[in-house]
């Protein structure tokens, strides 16, 4: 196992304990105690996943995540306060892929990390053929999406949702089915979070609003990709 994980938290004791647990599982661990250090690590390290606390000094985790998403689609797990559900929504809107509330069980965090890396780690992407729908092309193996030949920047969760829909155009998926497909470990995304991701995904892939929708809403059910032609 050679995946590199960045842990970002201003709690030195938490960083030490979590680093020991992850290192014992074979991961290479990089740590940062504030946003500046985190962004520096993003530039200098070949990261496979980031565990990011929201409550950081000087620069919040939200600000760090926003800057990260300008240049990177590395999967991000947010550490959120137990009672602040709004933080989870905001984090997902900014491009986070999962969240875990503090205080957390390191076994649960480890399960989330393993699940994400299985889907998006260096060795976890199969060589499935390129999917095409209208002016969109999605290559699951290369982990790329383009519209009219121009690359699109999607978060890992957005990518998973789009791939799910494009594999079966015309088939309606419930929010529960989409949640199951994109959830990690024991975490199950609530329906409202799926709606958030769909909204962001549409804004990126639809392009010209005068064109027919690629991602269609199925009333009282969920979503589907339009049939080709």
97-147 residue pLDDT tens: 888 888 888 888 998 888 888 766 553 333 346 888 888 899 877 788 998
For the chain, domain boundaries: 4-120, 131-225
| Cα angle for residues 22, 59, 152 (degrees, 5° grid) | 75
Are 76 and 65 in contact by the 8 Å Cβ rule? The answer is: yes
Query: What pLDDT score does 123 carry?
Result: 38
Distance (Å, whole) CA 91 – CA 175: 19
Of 218, 227, 201, 214, nearest in space to 136 by CA: 214
Rounded to two decimals, what is the model's pTM?
A: 0.58
Percent over 70 (pLDDT), the chain? 85
DSSP letter at 136?
A: E
Are 205 and 215 in contact by the 8 Å Cβ rule? The answer is: yes
Residues 6+ apart with CB under 8 A from 36: 58, 59
Of 107, 89, 98, 104, nearest in space to 179 by CA: 98
More confident residue, 189 or 104: 104
Q: How far is CA 167 from the centre of its chain?
A: 19
Query: What pLDDT score does 209 carry?
Result: 65
Q: Which two tokens stand for residue 196?
A: 């958030």
28-68 residue pLDDT tens: 999 999 999 999 998 888 888 999 999 998 899 999 998 88
Q: Which fold has domain 131-225?
A: Arc Repressor Mutant, subunit A (1.10.10)
Choosing among 3.40.50.620, 3.40.190.150, 3.40.50.2300, 3.40.50.300, the CATH entry for 4-120 is 3.40.50.2300
Distance (Å, whole) CA 61 – CA 79: 9
Can the peptide bond before residue 103 be classed as cis, meaning omega within 30 degrees of 0? Answer: yes
Q: Where are the alpha helices (DSSP H) in 51-124?
A: 61-68, 85-94, 106-120
């Amino acid at each position: 196992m050679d995946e590199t994980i960045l842990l970002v938290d201003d709690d030195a004791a938490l960083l030490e304990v979590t680093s020991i647990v992850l290192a014992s599982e074979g991961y290479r661990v990089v740590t940062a105690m504030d946003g500046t250090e985190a962004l520096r690590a993003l530039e200098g390290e070949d990261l496979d996943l980031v565990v990011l606390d929201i409550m950081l000094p000087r620069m919040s985790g939200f600000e760090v995540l926003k800057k990260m998403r300008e240049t990177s689609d590395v999967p991000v797990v947010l550490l959120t306060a137990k009672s602040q559900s709004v933080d989870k929504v905001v984090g997902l809107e900014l491009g986070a892929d999962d969240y875990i509330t503090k205080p957390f069980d390191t076994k649960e965090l480890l399960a989330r990390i393993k699940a994400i890396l299985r889907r998006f780690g260096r060795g976890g992407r199969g060589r499935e053929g390129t999917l095409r729908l209208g002016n969109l092309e999605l290559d699951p193996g290369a982990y790329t999406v383009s519209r009219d030949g121009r690359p699109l920047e999607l978060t890992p969760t957005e990518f998973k949702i789009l791939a799910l829909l494009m594999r079966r155009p015309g088939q309606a998926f419930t929010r529960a089915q989409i949640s199951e497909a994109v959830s990690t470990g024991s975490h199950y995304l609530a329906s409202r979070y799926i709606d958030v991701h769909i909204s962001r995904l549409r804004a990126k892939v639809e392009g010209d609003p005068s064109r027919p929708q690629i991602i269609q809403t199925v009333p009282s059910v969920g979503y589907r990709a339009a049939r080709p032609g």
